[in-house]
Every structure is written in structure tokens, then in C-alpha cells.
Amino acid sequence: MKKYIPFWVLSACVLIPSAAYAANSETVIQTDSHWNKQAIKPIHIEHPQVTILRITIPAGEKLSMHKHPILNIGYLTKGELTVRSEDGGVLVLHPGDPIVELVDIWHYGESTGSEDAEIVVTYVGDKEDPLSIAKE
């Protein structure tokens, strides 16, 4: 028989000072805009789906130009990743750096360090939406 922790217990854990537990938290990023400073548009999802990918880009490799129709947020775990948008924007990520990726803007990433770049990306969108669209 499975045992479940009541929601009120989990809620209370958030309200109790962290000194009572060994866990702590650090805000990595909290923002209302993408990395190019463009505001995040309101999200209306009829059939929500969350996808988390661990993406490895070999050192020296460049992804093809693409865009994302849905919100996605990432966190570089190793290597160096340079993201370039079609309009000339550039973002260089190092291990531990977060990214609030561009939505509906053509861009590509390139592993610009000496080791493979690894990024964990969370996509939030409708079940019918693709995660990315390649530029023809």
C-alpha cells in the first residue's frame, strides 16, 4: 500500500525556516524576459505538457538554425555554449548558467568550448506543439 504525504505537510515544510532541514535553495534565475531582454508572452495552454531534455552538443559542433514555438528554460551543466540569434544577438553560457530561450525567433547554439556542452532544457507547452522547428 502506497503512503502519500498530505499536501498540508509539504506546504508547511516550505514555511518552516531552512535551518530546520539540511536542504537549502538558491535562486538561479527569476525573470520576466528571454535572454534577449524581450518580455515573455502570456502562456495559455489547453493541453499542457512538460518535457525535460538533456542535450549534449559535441565540442566544435553547431546546431542548425531553428526556433521554438513554446517556452523553454535551460541550465548548462558542462562545456561552453554560444547561442546566436538571426538578428545578431549573442549569449555565451558556462557551467551553471541558466537560459530563458527565445520563442519564435530563429537562432542556433554552438559548443564553443574544448569539451562537449551539456544542457538540461525544460519545455512547457501544449501536447500538440513541437519543441523546435528547423529553418528550411
The helix or strand, by DSSP H or E, that contains position 13, with its residue range, turns out to be: helix 7-15
Residue 35, all three cell numbers: 535572454
Within a domain: residue 124? yes
- Give the count of domains, the chain: 1
Q: Residue 119 CB: number of other CB atoms within 10 A?
A: 25
Q: What is the pLDDT of residue 15?
A: 55
Mind listing the pLDDT tens digit of every residue in the chain (136 residues)?
Answer: 445 555 444 445 555 555 567 899 999 999 999 999 999 999 999 999 999 999 999 999 999 999 999 999 999 999 999 999 999 999 999 999 999 999 999 999 999 999 999 999 999 999 999 999 999 8
Shortest CA distance to 80 belongs to which of 66, 67, 99? 99
The range of the structural domain enclosing residue 87 comes to 29-134
Q: Is residue 13 part of a domain?
A: no
Strand partners, 49: 125
Q: Is residue 14 part of a domain?
A: no
Residue 119, all three cell numbers: 544542457
- On whether residue 88 sits in a domain, the answer given is yes
Tell me what pLDDT residue 16 has: 54
Measured in degrees and rounded to the nearest 5, phi and psi for residue 7 equal -55, -40
Would the CA dihedral through 117, 122, 126, 128 be positive or negative? positive
Instruction: Please indicate, yes or no, if residue 11 is contained in any of the structural domains.
Output: no
Does any domain span residue 21? no
Q: Is residue 48 part of a domain?
A: yes
pTM of the entire predicted model: 0.80
pLDDT at position 9: 46
CATH of the domain at 52: 2.60.120.10
Q: For residue 97, what pLDDT is reported?
A: 98
| Residue-level pLDDT at 22 | 81
Domain assignment present for 7 = no
What is the pLDDT, as a whole number, of residue 17?
56
